Amino acid sequence: MKKLNLVFCLYFITISAFTQEVKPVKNLIVMIPDGTSIGVYSAARWYNYYNGKGDTLNVDPYLTGTVTTFSSNAPIGDSAPTGSTYATGVLQQAGNVAIYPEPSANDLYPVDASRTYQPAATILEASKIEKQKSVGIVVTCEFPHATPADFSSHYYNRGNYKALAPQIAYQNLDVMFGGGTGILTDDIKKHFTRNGTTLIQDDKEAMLGYNQDGKVWALFGDRALPYNIDRNPDKVPSIAEMTEKAIQLLSKNENGFFLMVEGSQIDWAAHANDAGTMINEFLAFDEAVKKAMDFAKKEGNTAVVVVSDHGNSGFTIGSRDCPGYSRLSLEELFGAVSNYQLSANGLESILAKNKPEEIKAIFKKYTGIDITDEELQTLISSKNYKEADYMEVANSNNLAHNIVNILNSRTCFGFTTGGHTGEEVLLASYHPEGDVLKGNVKSRELNRYLQQVSGLSSSLEELTDRIFVKHDEAFRGLNYTIDESDPDFPVLRVTKGKNRLEVKAFSSVATKNGKPFDIGSVVVYIDKNGTFYLPAHLSEIF
């Protein structure tokens, strides 16, 4: 207990000492290479060097320190709590999306039990509400996945897309580029029609050609975009192309913009232990970093922060399964992986459609590897099912897993796990006046920096207490009921005399006496405590 109290004291001393003066800027771009450990940076540099593309990454000149990132009650976090802390400044438990956590016996730092389940306002919401900035998100996963949800929605379970997807839609984002056409509901599409959002589906040229002033969503694929290495460049945009287009559109606002860009599937490839795909995904993300940095330096009033949300897989250049690896040449370490033209998933989709006698030739074509008869038998007997949980690919006896094993047997890369890891992650920063984060900082300190550089007039906690008030506090003394006939989307009804207010869960549109109006922020319903969280100003509607 004494050690724990000492940790608390040291933590608060660190927080109180973090008083760096930061000049606010007009635009802020936050870029997250999801699940990227430091070994990925190293491998990507050597991969580029081996392939004649220089020995530096686009992000390298801007590396300024490291970030210690974690959950509220565990040193190793997943993307939901870690990304949410970046977005809100609130430590959260595994699976939490921008929401105050429950207290736990294992809490690393004190948790405010009085706020359990209260949604926590994000830097994206503050930029829109407090500063009237344009806001956007660019990802390569489906749009309600953990990291994009962290910045634009609130719930205790990252897997509940029914609660997360509508919130993201009702945030009235100016730009949303990513995956997830199959997640769009009729209600979301109707809302886009009402608020003037242009919806583009699986049409790269339409996205790149969009130059109107209105809001725009461009989604590709039923769920996530394909891995970059599998991507058809004529049909699906790169993350760099989406980033560049988002910046172009968002920068039309004279008040500035906030943009979050996530290289989502670096993490997914790490979960699968697919080294070649992981390197390729990071390099694609690094091209997006160049687009952001080029804009920031030219524009002169833009800050950029690049930081992963956690490590993944324990990836290393060198493995105990590869004796003498420390004496291997650049060719021996990076020659094989440079021949891989598809991800394990991409190769799986081709092999599954062909006869066993064709597998050797196909494998050779896309990887440069002559597989052995024993390896052929392993592929044929793998039952060819696709692991539904992308976090478990490395642990499953599926075809993609067996392909990965063959690919990795020709390299000297090492993996300790198919899951997340707890090491600190690299931080890169750009600020036109040089006011960047340096050294090692905690995830909450990074959020504090985002608030400072955004020039917010009030804190995120203060905004939280304005837009996420419990319904029984907001409407104390009035008659209200909760209609749960649709358990996914309960409706709060409040009456006073002849006036009637209806508020639907996970929406930003309410009705007064049957007439719809925008309430300015999303409404969140938490079934665990039967509570609507909504803007305080709704109490004045009567």
Please tell me the predicted confidence (pLDDT) of residue 394: 59
Q: Indicate whether 433 and 486 sit together in one domain.
A: no
388 pLDDT above the threshold of 60:
no
Residue 326 lies in a domain: no
Q: Indicate whether 144 and 291 sit together in one domain.
A: yes
Supply the pTM of this predicted model.
Answer: 0.95
Which band of pLDDT confidence, cut at 50, 70 and 90, is reported for residue 3?
A: very low
Determine whether 378 is exposed, middle or buried from the number of CB atoms within 10 Å of its CB (0-12, 13-18, 19+): middle
Q: Indicate whether 85 and 189 sit together in one domain.
A: yes
Residue 483: which residues within 8 A CB-CB, separation 6 or more? Answer: 490, 491, 492, 493
Q: Indicate whether 139 and 219 sit together in one domain.
A: yes
Residues 416-435 pLDDT 10s: 999 999 999 999 999 999 99
Q: Residue 493: which domain range?
A: 468-540
Q: Indicate whether 263 and 358 sit together in one domain.
A: no
Residues 5-61 pLDDT 10s: 444 444 443 443 345 799 999 999 999 999 999 999 999 999 999 999 999 999 999
Residues 184-232 pLDDT 10s: 999 999 999 999 999 999 999 999 999 999 999 999 999 999 999 999 9
Measured CA to CA, the distance from residue 68 to residue 5 in angstroms comes to 19
**Torsion, Cα of 164, 167, 169, 171 (10° steps):** -140
Residues 263-302 pLDDT 10s: 999 999 999 999 999 999 999 999 999 999 999 999 999 9
Measured CA to CA, the distance from residue 363 to residue 348 in angstroms comes to 10
Q: Indicate whether 26 and 111 sit together in one domain.
A: yes
Q: Indicate whether 425 and 395 sit together in one domain.
A: no
532 pLDDT above the threshold of 90:
yes
H-helix or E-strand containing 298? helix 275-299
Residue 321 lies in a domain: no
* Closest to 394 measured CA to CA, from 418, 419, 416: 418
Measured CA to CA, the distance from residue 295 to residue 329 in angstroms comes to 38
386 pLDDT above the threshold of 70:
no
Please tell me the predicted confidence (pLDDT) of residue 2: 40
Strands 216-219 and 175-179: parallel
| Mean pLDDT confidence for 94-112 | 97
Mean pLDDT of the chain: 94
Residues 296-349 pLDDT 10s: 999 999 999 999 999 999 999 999 999 999 999 999 999 999 999 999 999 999
Choice among 171-180, 214-223, 396-405, 480-489 with the minimum mean pLDDT: 396-405
Paired tokens of 383: 């039952």
DSSP state of 390: G
Domain of 532, CATH number, reads 3.30.457.10
* 421 φ/ψ sector (left φ>0, alpha ψ -120 to 50, else beta): beta
Residue 179 lies in a domain: yes
Please tell me the predicted confidence (pLDDT) of residue 10: 42
Which of 428, 450, 465 represents a domain boundary (last residue)? 465
Q: Which residues pair with 531 in a beta bridge?
A: 526
Q: Indicate whether 433 and 364 sit together in one domain.
A: no
Determine whether 520 is exposed, middle or buried from the number of CB atoms within 10 Å of its CB (0-12, 13-18, 19+): middle
Residue 335 lies in a domain: no
Q: Indicate whether 439 and 513 sit together in one domain.
A: no
Contact 43, 413 (CB under 8 A): yes
Q: Indicate whether 388 and 357 sit together in one domain.
A: yes
Please tell me the predicted confidence (pLDDT) of residue 397: 77
Q: How far is CA 427 from CA 103, 335, 348, 450, 457, in A?
A: 29, 29, 35, 13, 26
Which of 465, 480, 501 represents a domain boundary (last residue)? 465
Q: Of all residues in the chain, what percent carry a pLDDT higher than 70?
A: 94
Determine whether 380 is exposed, middle or buried from the number of CB atoms within 10 Å of its CB (0-12, 13-18, 19+): middle
Which band of pLDDT confidence, cut at 50, 70 and 90, is reported for residue 382?
A: confident
Paired tokens of 325: 């690896």
Please tell me the predicted confidence (pLDDT) of residue 390: 59
**SS3 annotation, 432-483:** CCCCCCCEEEEHHHHHHHHHHHHCCCCCHHHHHHHHCEEHHHHCCCCEEEEE
Q: In what order do the strands lie in the sheet with 531-534?
A: 469-470, 531-534, 524-526
Please tell me the predicted confidence (pLDDT) of residue 455: 97
DSSP state of 119: B
138 pLDDT above the threshold of 50:
yes
Please tell me the predicted confidence (pLDDT) of residue 16: 39
Q: Indicate whether 189 and 91 sit together in one domain.
A: yes
Please tell me the predicted confidence (pLDDT) of residue 392: 61
Number of separate domains in the chain: 3
Q: Indicate whether 158 and 66 sit together in one domain.
A: yes
Which band of pLDDT confidence, cut at 50, 70 and 90, is reported for residue 381?
A: confident
Residues 59-78 pLDDT 10s: 999 999 999 999 999 999 99
Give φ, ψ of 283 to 5 degrees: -65, -35
Please tell me the predicted confidence (pLDDT) of residue 14: 41
